[in-house]
Amino acid sequence: MAKKVKKKGNKICASGISWAKKTFDKYPSAYANMAASKYCKDPNYGKGKKK
């Protein structure tokens, strides 16, 4: 029987990762990953107050 190989996918977009690396001192952290995922959903996240 052949084994199924699961592919590890990154759910955070590349622009979110680069934004988090610029914004936070230490990127691979839970807080930075949460903010990066929010940035992927809303690119205006972190740019000031929402109206």
SS3 assignment, position 8: coil
Residue 17 has pLDDT above 80, yes or no: yes
Q: Give pLDDT, residue 5.
A: 62
Q: How confident is the model at residue 22 (pLDDT cuts 50, 70, 90)?
A: very high
Asked whether residue 3 is domain-assigned, the answer is no
Would you mind telling me the total number of residues written for the chain in this entry? 51
Asked whether residue 25 is domain-assigned, the answer is yes
Q: Give pLDDT, residue 48.
A: 72
Query: Chain-wide mean pLDDT for the chain?
Result: 82
Asked whether residue 36 is domain-assigned, the answer is yes
Report field, pTM of the whole predicted structure over 0.75: no
Q: How many folded domains does the chain comprise?
A: 1
String of b and e for 26-41 (b: at least 16 CB within 10 Å)? eeeeeebbebbbebbe
Range of the domain at 24: 12-42
Residue 6 has pLDDT above 80, yes or no: no
